[in-house]
Structures are given as structure tokens and as C-alpha cells.
Amino acid sequence: MYDTELKYTPEGFAACTFVLASNRFFKQDEEMQKEVSYFDVSCWTRLAEVCGEYLKKGRGVRVVGRLKQDLWTDSDGKGHSRIEIVAEHVEFKPQLKKLDGDGKDGESGVAEGQAEPAVDEQVQEEAELKETANF
């Protein structure tokens, strides 16, 4: 996911947009493959303000919403189409703290007072690969 873009309409309504990346792992010819899809997401009002404040690139989220299709014709008369997700609910996944080489907590972006487990990123990614590969 890319960082969010929070704007306000002339009427004062908050509007937030971001791009969500979704990973799909699958086995092809006895080798694990990774496919990444990108989705444009928009949200409004208080949800937009919360997303604008707390969502940063790399933060895991679960988005529930509806699909919206925009159709337009450019100056050359060619038709275009774009589909985006209009979020009605956004769920934030916990951020995991990383440990420095000396065993101390590194920068994690977790709000003060929240205790999160320390996990080695490579070990976690390998575990996710193995888990998704079991189909």
C-alpha cells in the first residue's frame, strides 16, 4: 500500500485515497510464485480522516466496501474505464515491532503504550508462503 492522500471538498467533507496491494502466492511447476494486484481505494468523512492519519505504506489493512466504475471519453474519443473500491469499513492489522541486533526495540510506528510481538520479517514471510501454499 502507498501512503494515503487526504483532501477536503469545498463543502468540508474529508476524502481519502490510497492504493492497496494484495499478494497472491501459488505453486507453479513445483516453484512458489507471487502475484501482486493493486487496487485504488477511496473513503469519506470520519473514515477518511482516520485512514489519512494512521495508514502508512506497508501497514496491513482489510477493506470492506463496494465497487464503483467510472466511465469517460478522452479528447480523442477513446472510451476509458476505471474501477475503485469505495471503502465502508477499514480494519487495521497490528504493526509488529522489530528487534535491533542488540535485542532492543527498533522504530516501528506503533502508538506508545501498545505492546506488539517482535517478529523477524523474513521468518514471517516464509511462514505466510508456506501457509498459503497449502491448498
- The CA distance from 9 to 35, in Å, is 36
pTM higher than 0.75 for the full model? no
Domain boundaries, the chain: 1-93, 96-135
Counting Cα atoms < 13 Å in the Cβ hemisphere of 113 gives 0
List the chain pLDDT tens, one digit each, 135 residues: 567 999 999 999 999 999 999 999 999 999 999 999 999 999 999 999 999 999 988 889 999 999 999 999 999 999 999 999 999 999 998 877 665 555 444 444 333 333 333 344 544 554 554 444 443
**CATH (residue range 1-93):** 2.40.50.140
